[in-house]
Structures are given as C-alpha cells and as structure tokens.
Amino acid sequence: MAKVHVSTTVNGEPMEFLCEPYETMLDALRGALGLTGSKEGCASGDCGACSITLDGRLVCSCLMLAAEAEGREIGTIEGMAQGETLHPLQQKFLEHAALQCGICTSGMLVASEALLRKNPDPSEEEVRFWLAGNLCRCTGYDKIVRAVLDAAAEMRETAP
C-alpha cells in the first residue's frame, strides 16, 4: 500500500510528511518529523510519555494514527518553550527537581500544560487525577505535583 501524504501543523508550523497507513502519530513525530521529545513507554496509552495536544486537547500520540493529523494542529514538548524562554511549568519542574531520569517529563509537561489551560487553579487532588494517565517511576509524583501547583500559582499572578 502506498504511503499517505499528510499536511498538518506542528507547534504552529505547517508540516508535511509521508506515513504508512498503520503508523501512529508517535511514529511519525519520532520518525519522519524528527521530534523525539515525545517518548514511547508502552504503545498502549497507559504511560502518557507520548502525550501531545491535538487541536488543544490532550491525547496519547501512540493511540492516534499519523494520518489523522491531516488538517489538525499538533502540539508537542518541543513547542512549549518560547525560544529561549521556558514555560513556567518547565521552569518549575527544574526548580522543584520534579524529574529524575526525565523519560516521563515531556509527557508530564504537555499534560500539565493542558490542565492549566483548562483549569488555572487546580487543587492537589485535581492535579493528581489529571496526571493519573502519566506514569513516573522515579519521583513518587510528590515534586511533580508541587511543581504544577507552583507554576499554576505563578501563572495566575502574572496573567493579564
């Protein structure tokens, strides 16, 4: 079967790529598009390391076909910082030491950013349940939850 041609937007940039009909969005990101910040931990939608946004909505890119990106807007970890300026979540993850090995970090950040867009003032419990689809084996989640709450507080203060 011939490859599928896909026109899409990734982190605000128009992009085109070819993919096999069975390829996942994660395969396309890591392969054809060279964006390896999204990770494959399970390929079954259980670990969240491949989290991206699709038209602003949080999804597991391992559960989405690459061909489905046609005409849509994809957001990945590579688009989170604005040039040299880190997103407040990225900064707070560093300050709180909310990563150890770092393999889950991309997905955690993408998921957290999606949360704060939807709910700028989440409770600890809301953060914990929102991030329940993102596995971290290193940190016990403590510092991740603190970083997200701290980033949310800072973003509320600086919001226009």
Residue 47 or residue 64: which is nearer to another protein going by CB?
47
Residue 59 or 131 having the CB closest to another protein: 131
Residue 76 phi/psi, 5° resolution? Answer: -125, 175
For residues 83 to 112, the per-residue mask of contacts with another protein, x marking binding by CB under 8 A and - elsewhere, is: ---x---x--xxxxx-xxxxxxxx--x---
Q: Build a one-symbol-per-residue string for 123-142: x at contacts with another protein by CB under 8 A, - elsewhere.
A: -xx-xxx-xxxxxxxxxxxx
- Residue found under tokens 């997103």: 87
Q: Residue 8 burial (CB < 10 Å; 0-12/13-18/19+)?
A: buried
Report residue 14 as tokens: 């128009």
Distance CA 74, CA 89 (A): 19
Contact between 109 and 77 (Cβ < 8 Å): yes
Count of residues touching another protein (by CB under 8 A): 57
Summarize as ranges the residues that interact with another protein (CB under 8 A): 20, 30, 35-44, 46-47, 49, 76-78, 80-81, 86, 90, 93-97, 99-106, 109, 124-125, 127-129, 131-146
